[in-house]
Chain A
Amino acid sequence: MLLEAKHLTKTFGKYVAVNDLNLKIKKGSFTALLGPNGAGKSSTMNMLIGLSKPTSGELIYSDKIKLGVVFQNSVLDEMLTVQENLQIRAKQYRHVSKNKVNEVIQQLGLNEFTGQRYGTLSGGQKRRVDIARALLNDPDILFLDEPTTALDIQTRTAIWHLLQELQQSKELTIILTTHYLDEADSADDVYIIDHGMLIVEGTAADIKEQYAEDILHITTSDVDRLCKNSKISPIRKTTTQVIYSLSNSKDALEILTANKSLITNFEFRPGTMDDAFLALTGNEVH
């Protein structure tokens, strides 16, 4: 185990930001901390990287561990070029080789804009430089606090591919927070947190399987007969449509075959992370 958090708790006065959280991070794993705004993701992150001390609980790191952090807000200097920024940060570490800056530039494909000032880069380019900066000290764990927030879908996908590639090629352990649920799909381990508490932990597939209902949408000529034919009652019906929320696809198949002649059209949608998330955290806005 590279990092283990036991009963991690953080309070600010009476407000409990993180409540008795347990985490286990394996080497080479990709962990996503998922939660709505104000769920306690950033507070958790700050404790994990050592910027704030837990009120109670324990953090156990493996020996001589090196951490790399991509902060939510950019921490590089707008007036300096990409090369200058990386060079200066590299010098702040004791054991970073001279070649390292060029190495991360190659690795993250920053070549085209190394001479450009950081402030003039696009959002996606900036993020790549931020990640390059976090890799300067060859970290064992890379932490990213909402790395894809405010990026367009193309850039988000690109950053995501980049991270997966880093995880695979370098056996990098990655922990990130996000509120884009689809991103958690490709994580090995997902922790859903709300109100500072762990609600569920597991792989994305497990969580969806367990907490996201499949949706079956049927357009029919005879709503009443269709409803009578099936044991399961629909969650909603209109004059032409019946909508079921089902725990597995077998049930869907059953309904469909039993009502073959009545169905003019249908749509089956497997449960998504969004469904699981809403089922787990409720609909209220924080």
Chain B
Amino acid sequence: MKSMIKRNLLLYFRNHSGVFFSLMGALISFILYLVFLKKNMQSSWSQVPNSTILLDLWLIGGTLSITSITTTLSSLSQSVIDKEKHITQDLELTDAGPFRLQMSYLLSSTIIGILMQLIMFAIMLGYFYVTDKLTVTGGQFIDIFGLMIISSLLATAVNSLIIRYIHKSDNLNKVGTIVGTGAGFLVGTYIPIGSLPNFAQNLVKITPGSYVASLFRQYLMGNKLNNVFKNSVSSRNHFDRLMGIRLEWSHLLTQKETYLIMVLIFVGALILLIGSQWLQNRRQMYLLQEK
């Protein structure tokens, strides 16, 4: 399995244009912010002290969440390509077997998701350090790194469900484009969730990535927000709600509740994944006998 993971990583990183396009959604979010949105958002938050740094951190949170969604999807697409080119048949004739083969796709996708988030984080942090003197503490980095792992696992599980129903690499590209462009809106990064109409807000809330984004924002912005809103709980809540730092169900979700939701989505996706795999195996057995 180790060598299959190595294979998947090599195939992902050697395809330079593939790497670039898998980051497209994240890069759009970053560049869109720099070129168009930053100025506008700064002026509407000008009464908040440190607004530039806060907005930079807010953007980083959302962009990392997009990164894990699009890069894991792109990595998982190798399994579709392998099926299409009959590489899967060759691999299934070895001693490795289908279970280990599937696991190797999932694990490599998780690893790629983590690596690409680290790379995007370095790029954005580097840029904002130069322009706005932005830094993060070691403690923050550890929290963020942990969340990157969880985010990557979650995105891999959810994307695997999507991938299951795609059998042609042609369709895969189409789905990749849709997810890449949609992700930025769905995790509330292009436009803050608070400025969206109700229906769109609900869409954001059913997107797993938006919970990841909210936790990233909490880790990145938490300390600074505590200082800024020291004397006003209600304006803090308003800010959190507007910017998607905490998502609102019946109340603003705590960190624990957010994690719980993510775990539930993860477990749910896994159950669906294993269930559908089981159904497919049964159907395949049936078809094989039929054939």
A interface list, Cβ under 8 A from B:
10-12, 49-53, 55, 67, 69, 71, 73-75, 77, 79-80, 84, 87-89, 91-94, 137
Cβ contact within 8 Å between B90 and A12: no
How many angstroms from the CA of A73 to the CA of B83 in the assembled complex?
13
Cα distance A74–B291 in the bound complex, in angstroms: 25
Q: Which B residues have a C-beta under 8 Å from some C-beta of A? A: 2-4, 6-7, 10-11, 14-15, 85-87, 89-96, 288-291
**Chain A residues closer than 8 Å to B7, beta-carbon distance:** 77, 80, 84, 88
Distance between Cα atoms of A79 and B81 in the complex (Å): 13
Given contacts A50-B93, A51-B89, A51-B93, contact A80 B11 (CB under 8 A): yes
Please indicate the chain B residues that have their CB under 8 angstroms from the CB of A52 in the complex.
288, 291
- Most chain A CB neighbours (cut-off 10 Å) among B2, B15, B87, B94: B94
B86 touches A89 (CB 8 A): no
Q: B4 touches which one: A49, A84, A92 (CB < 8 A)?
A: A92
Residues of B within 8 A of A10 (CB): 291
Q: Are A75 and B4 in contact (CB-based, < 8 A)?
A: no
Within 8 Å CB of B2, what residues of A? 91
A residues in contact with B291, CB < 8 Å: 10-12, 52-53, 55
Given contacts A52-B291, A53-B288, A80-B10, contact A93 B95 (CB under 8 A): yes
CB distance from A177 to the nearest CB of B (A): 16
Cα of A50 to Cα of B155 in the assembled complex, Å: 35
B14 touches A67 (CB 8 A): no
Assembly CA distance A150 to B85 (angstroms): 18
Instruction: Kindly list chain B residues whose C-beta atoms are within 8 Å of the C-beta of A12.
Output: 291
The contact of B14 among A73, A79, A87, by CB within 8 Å, is A79
Tell which of A11, A73, A93 touches B86, judged by Cβ atoms closer than 8 Å: A73
**In the complex, what residues of B have CB within 8 A of residue A77's CB?**
7, 11, 87
Given contacts A51-B92, A75-B85, 16 further A-B contacts (CB under 8 A): A10-B291, A49-B93, A51-B93, A52-B291, A55-B291, A69-B93, A71-B89, A75-B86, A75-B90, A77-B11, A79-B15, A80-B7, A84-B7, A89-B90, A91-B2, A137-B94
How far is A62 from B222 in the complex, measured between Cα atoms in Å? 68
Nearest CB on A from B103, distance (A) = 13
Contacts of B94 in A (CB 8 A): 89, 92-93, 137
Query: Which 4 pairs, one residue from A and one from B, show the smallest C-beta to C-beta distance?
Result: A91-B3, A92-B94, A75-B90, A92-B96
**B146 → A minimal CB distance (Å):** 31
Closest-by-CB residue of A relative to B285 is A53
Which of A11, A71, A79 is in CB contact (< 8 Å) with B10? A79
Chain A contacts of B4 at CB under 8 A? 88, 91-92
Partner pick for A94 among B86, B90, B95, CB 8 A cutoff: B95
> Contact check: which of B3, B6, B87, B288 meets A75 at CB < 8 Å?
B87
Closest to A79 in B: B14
Which of B6, B86, B90 gathers most chain A CB within 10 Å?
B90
* Complex contact A88–B3 (CB within 8 A): yes
Closest residue of chain B to A69 (Cβ to Cβ) is: B93
B92 CB contacts on chain A under 8 angstroms: 51
Q: How far is the CB of B127 from chain A (nearest CB, A)?
A: 30
A53–B11 touching, CB < 8 Å: no
How far is the CB of A101 from the nearest CB of chain B, in Å?
A: 12
Question: Which A residues lie within 8 Å of B3 (CB)?
Answer: 87-88, 91-92
> In the complex, what's the smallest C-beta–C-beta distance from A133 to chain B, in angstroms?
8
Closest B residue to A93 by beta carbon equals B95
Cβ-closest chain B residue relative to A11: B291
Q: Do A73 and B85 contact each other (CB < 8 Å), given the known contacts A52-B288, A79-B10?
A: yes
